[in-house]
Structure 1
Amino acid sequence: MAVTTEKESEAEVQPMGESPQYFLGDPESQQQLDFTVVSVRQGFIRKVYSILMVQLLITSGFIAGFLFDRDLRLWVRRNALFVLGACILSFCLTLAMVCCDRARRKFPLNFILLFLFTVIESFLVGAVSSFYQAESVLLAAGITVVICFSLTVFAFQTKIDFTGWGPYLFVSTIVLFLFGIAAALLSSILPVMHTLYACLGALLFSVYLIYDTQLIIGGKHKNSISPEEYTFAALTLYIDIINIFLKILVATGKKRD
């Protein structure tokens, strides 16, 4: 049984045998709620970026291995079917984590799937990097670091809300996919199409990085990711960064002889 005053929006509620609770209209209650929400979101952000750092370290290790181990580079060229299988498996793992709530939220399943995806994706990124000169890969990595850091700071500081851009980004992704097919078919006639596709891809995933970062930040933005979705949040940022790196590498890199 609870006792309330006439103005319920400002009343103190005292359930029997429980600690005091307050309506949101009460200043003390609102302050406590705001602090709790902010604390949860900050913990979520720290967890996401910690996971992301581990993912990027794993990927960096694979890239270094493929760049400086000649046997690995030769193995990739002789085992194209294995690389194709890794691509299919990576796609399936991504689909599972995007479409299945249990796969994203249930521990330790979410970490197992994310770890498997990271290892497979790191292998694929390393395989692609093996076709380019080491200097080009390092340059692309440096440019990616600068771009991603700048965009992350921008996403945290700007008053522009990108979280409502989801439908536009989805349509842009489809358009880019179709343009990629056209570029592949016409690359022998118009080599510039391949470079243009890579530049447009880097631009699109740069916007995706801002969009996903603001979803993670939450706060006053229109949309946000639930704190339970920390592995999914890390996955989205990782995919954005990897795609930016690969597009920059394709656009600026020099291939090995």
Structure 2
Amino acid sequence: MTTTPVVFIHGLWLHASSWQPWADLFAANGYSPLMPGWPGEEPTVEAARANPEAVAGYGIDDVTEHYRGIITALPTAPVLIGHSFGGLIVQKLLGEGHGRAAVAIDPAQIKGVKPLPFAQLRSGFPVLGNPANKKRAVSLTAKQFRYGFGNAISEEESNRLYEAHTIPSPGRPLFEAAFANFTKNSPAKVNTGNGERGPLLLMSGQADRTVPDVVTRAAFKLYGDSTAITELKQFPGRGHSLVLDSGWRAVADSALGWLARQNVQGA
């Protein structure tokens, strides 16, 4: 029997290995997990920190093409699970008809989303504050990670996650998303009207500062004209670190339960 692949796609500032607990859980539930990094991403956190220029300059279209190639090479259509910019990427891929189903967790804003809360602007300022960062790889400080990712957990846990999982990431995707509504052919555009795609679940941490709940809710509304299944799940009191902090299991179990209700099983 062929097992269903599940492709995990991370966002900015986290290494692909941050998905390991999710991969283990999904494997235990009969799925075949894959955790491919972004183009240019080194295989370990330490190597990625030592070689930031390897990811500099990559944008949303580059990352989407990278994962599209991985997905189309699989023997059967996978489940796509993405966090932050990974959540934007899985929406793009699902809208193109790739993937059996997708879960987008605290997804970066797609074209058409209008709310721009102050907390989101402040979270993105380490990159957006300098136009030259569009061509660079940028790292967060522990203090910046605490504000944008770890605000809903203890400072001790936030610092531990920062040390274990953060890596430099390209600044270009943030600029592309920030100016999407002013760019005709923005790479942040998603085919939200595709009624033939697989089911999509949007998840939101209601204490998230990097992608505030209002941004995810605005994206959900953009799917209103599609006849395909689109659902929204909100997690009160959870921040942007919800996929890797001590409460990750509740989020992962919710995703597994939703997939089962869509008749998407691991084996």
Query: Normalised by the size of structure 2, how large is the TM-score?
Result: 0.26
Q: 1 or 2, which has the higher helix percentage?
A: 1
Q: 1 or 2, which has the higher strand percentage?
A: 2
Q: Which is greater in Rg?
A: 1
